[in-house]
Structure 1
Amino acid sequence: MEAIVVPSGLSEQVRARLAHLPQATPAIVDPRNRYCTFLAAPDMPYHIVPQPIQHQCELQGITVPQPGTRVMLPRSDDQFGWHWACEPTPGRLRLPQRSLVLTAIRLSIDEGADVVPA
């Protein structure tokens, strides 16, 4: 499993772009609602995020943590701690490929922070 941390303003657009997927894209919000962490499956075959995409993400305050980094998961439905912005679909955990989440992020950046896709 991988994680991509996105500032809250941009994360709403990203979630809207990923809403068409057949399974929910799990996303976790920090206690102060500043960042949203999207959970994703590593691309197969595995490859690192290309440098131009990493740079574009860094300019927007987006981080792609290194493999092995701990990710905080919600322990309850309490909105005062780490909580789900989008809960995983019940049953076997199915995550979108990292490339799908990064594409949604890039499209949201290109479109601008004030536009939420329909």
Structure 2
Amino acid sequence: MFESCHSPHEVAHLLRRRFGLPVQLLAGRPIITTGSILGALVMPPHLGCEVLGAMDSDLRAPVVADPGNRTWTFLVTPPSPVKMVDIGVRQHLAAHQVTVVPSGRFILLPTTDSLLGWHWAAEPAPGVLRLPPRSAVIEAVHRVIELHAPAP
């Protein structure tokens, strides 16, 4: 996908045009900022893969993987009006290495198709940006966690 890009500006333009992402450049890196337009959840890739499989296909989240595939960042729509995730839910998610990214944080976007750089673990659909609600991804995380919970 990025083979035709020769500069960070071209990468940012491609991400805006192809996926409708509100991309900015920070120190030559394409980023998005969490807030009223989009949010993010970060989790380990083994959990993220199962969460993607547990989600409805029409609610599939775009997912950014870091170099080395240590974390996956799910892009989501934040709730409206803005609502904090309950402390008990956050603690339960944190116990499984899932973080709800606060508003105002930068999310690095892919710049390469190589697994050695920031890349898509799940590419967004082309066209108008469609993200799943944050609550849908959190519910999918809970379903996956429950599947692996030891029987009482």
Shared fold (TM-score, shorter chain, > 0.5): yes
Indicate the residue corresponding to 2:145 in structure 1: 109
Q: Which has the greater radius of gyration?
A: 2
Greater RCO, 1 or 2 (C-alpha within 8 Å, sep 6+): 1
Shift of 1:71: 0.4
RMSD: 1.3
Indicate the residue corresponding to 1:3 in structure 2: 40
Indicate the residue corresponding to 2:70 in structure 1: 34
Q: Please give the alpha-carbon distance, in whole angstroms, between the structure 2 residues aligned to 1:70 and 1:43.
A: 18
Instruction: Flag structure 2 segments of 5+ consecutive residues without an equivalent.
Output: 1-37
The answer to whether the 8 A contact 2:69-2:115 is kept is no
Moved over 3 A (4+): none
Indicate the residue corresponding to 2:49 in structure 1: 12
Q: How does 1:4-83 map to 2 (within 5 A)?
A: 4-18=41-55, 20-22=56-58, 24-83=60-119
Q: Please give the alpha-carbon distance, in whole angstroms, between the structure 2 residues aligned to 1:44 and 1:71.
A: 20
Q: Does the residue aligned with 2:108 lie in a helix, a strand or coil?
A: coil
One-letter code aligned to 1:89: A
The answer to whether the 8 A contact 1:30-1:83 is kept is yes
Shift of 1:68: 0.6
Shift of 1:23: 5.0
Indicate the residue corresponding to 1:116 in structure 2: none
Q: Please give the alpha-carbon distance, in whole angstroms, between the structure 2 residues aligned to 1:10 and 1:23.
A: 17
Instruction: Flag structure 1 segments of 5+ consecutive residues without an equivalent.
Output: 114-118
Shift of 1:24: 3.5
- TM-score when scaled to structure 2? 0.70
One-letter code aligned to 1:51: I
Number of aligned positions between the proteins: 112
Q: Please give the alpha-carbon distance, in whole angstroms, between the structure 2 residues aligned to 1:21 and 1:42.
A: 19
Shift of 1:62: 1.1
- TM-score when scaled to structure 1? 0.89
Identity percentage over the alignment? 37
